[in-house]
Amino acid sequence: MIRRSLAALGAAAIAIGAGGVESMLAQASASAAAKPAKYTAPLTPWGDPDLQGIWSSDREAGVPLERPTGQDKPRVEGSELDALLERREQQRASTAGTIGGVTGAGPTHWYENWGRRSARTSLVVDPPDGHVPPLTPEAEKRQRARTGGAGSFGNGPFDRPEDFTLYDRCITRGLPSVMFPAIYNNNTQIVQAPGYVALTYEMIHETRVIPLDGRPFVGERIRGYMGDARARWDGGTLVVETQNFSERANYRGTGATLRLVERFRRVHHQRLRYEVTVTDPHTFTRPWTAAVNLGPGVHLYEYACHEGNYAMRHMLSAARAAEAPGAKK
């Protein structure tokens, strides 16, 4: 077999001549030289991959979590991309005035981030169809049993502060939502120290301080809105596992059995890849993964939001006024 291969190569060389061989070798050398070198993230003084900085998801604002119906490609280009961006612009213009319910949510230019030129068709990368897996029968039953829960984005009831979401009340935007692009405040600051990594989110101004020392998770009776997180390094990737979520966190119908595995990897000096795998066998029929490409941010702005400021009190008082005799008339 080897002899036949060598004989074939020799015959090919004779057929194309010495000049042709030299030309082929030159082309191969040029191709190898043009191939970009694999990026290696810088290291901290203590030797961990350096992910520090302010990172923004603005570059992918407007990309939906799930792929639109009828779209079967994870990315588009050319005329398909132009058509996709045009649809997003039309959606931005038509949706801006209705996002906040009957009160609206600001003028169209507040949603300028949605006009970013991203070719991705969904943040969900697994399943390959770009859709969040169906709910389990158990989760569907829970959803039917829940009343309200959509807060200011729904139709009530608005009887007490607890009828509003944690996002409405400026308590938390929740995981993994806080890593996905919104209309503004899409920055995350990463700070590292020996044995720890800290993530501060501009939206709702939360900070997670996550140990890297291999300690076990806290007992399951201790739960939080952002869960309990532990981190480790897998080569140049920071892997963060989080569990022990509060039932009140309720991400897409999940509960206390939610488990997240987040991965942060610096793929370029101006790009950080974020992936999160969502697992909850009591809610979804299978695990699923979403990804966001983060670019450099500038700085964090203050997010001065405290228990909904005046909004929640006004919505509660408006609901009582609507219930008063003669209000409909």
Residue 105, domain member (yes or no) = yes
Residue 272's beta-bridge partner residues?
A: 266, 294
* 169 shares its domain with 293: yes
pLDDT of residue 18: 47
Burial group, residue 303, by CB count within 10 angstroms (0-12, 13-18, 19+) = middle
pLDDT of residue 304: 86
Please answer whether residues 316 and 294 qualify as being in contact, where contact means their C-beta atoms are separated by less than 8 angstroms.
no
- Cis ω for the linkage preceding 133 (within 30 of 0): no
* 90 shares its domain with 151: no
Number of separate domains in the chain: 2
* 233 shares its domain with 303: yes
Distance, CA of 150 to CA of 109 (rounded, Å): 25
Residue 28, domain member (yes or no) = no
First-to-last alpha carbon distance for the chain, in angstroms, is: 93
* 3-state class (DSSP) for residue 206: strand
The pTM for the full model equals 0.82
pLDDT of residue 36: 60
Residue 209, domain member (yes or no) = yes
**What is the full per-residue pLDDT of the chain (329 aa) written as tens digits?**
444 444 444 444 444 454 554 554 455 555 545 566 788 889 999 999 999 999 999 989 889 999 988 888 998 888 888 888 888 777 766 666 565 554 456 666 666 666 677 889 999 999 999 999 999 999 999 888 776 567 777 777 888 888 888 888 889 999 999 999 988 899 999 999 999 999 999 998 899 999 999 999 999 999 999 999 999 999 999 999 999 999 888 899 898 999 999 999 999 999 999 999 999 999 999 999 999 999 999 889 988 888 777 888 888 998 899 888 876 65
Distance, CA of 257 to CA of 259 (rounded, Å): 6
Helix and strand totals (H; E) in the chain = 4, 10
- Picking from 272, 304, 306, 308, the residue whose alpha carbon sits closest to that of residue 291 is 272
Residue 96, domain member (yes or no) = yes
* 233 shares its domain with 251: yes
Give the contacts of 47 (CB within 8 A, at least 6 positions apart): none
Both tokens assigned to 251: 């991400």
pLDDT of residue 298: 87
* 254 shares its domain with 286: yes
* 237 shares its domain with 254: yes
Residue 48, domain member (yes or no) = no
Give the H/E segment covering residue 224.
none
Distance, CA of 270 to CA of 310 (rounded, Å): 39
Q: For the CA atoms of 52, 54, 55, 58, what is the dihedral angle to 10 degrees?
A: 180
Residue 6, domain member (yes or no) = no
* 91 shares its domain with 112: yes
Tell me the residue range of the domain where 265 lies: 53-70+126-319
Residue 195, domain member (yes or no) = yes
Residue 219, domain member (yes or no) = yes
* 101 shares its domain with 179: no
* 208 shares its domain with 279: yes
* 101 shares its domain with 131: no
Both tokens assigned to 175: 């995981």
Number of Cβ atoms within 10 Å of the Cβ of 115: 13
Q: For the CA atoms of 76, 80, 85, 91, what is the dihedral angle to 10 degrees?
A: -110
Give the H/E segment covering residue 16.
helix 2-34
pLDDT of residue 93: 67
Please answer whether residues 312 and 167 qualify as being in contact, where contact means their C-beta atoms are separated by less than 8 angstroms.
no
* 224 shares its domain with 83: no
* 81 shares its domain with 189: no
Q: Longest C-alpha distance within the chain, in Å?
A: 100
Please answer whether residues 119 and 71 qualify as being in contact, where contact means their C-beta atoms are separated by less than 8 angstroms.
no
pLDDT of residue 264: 98
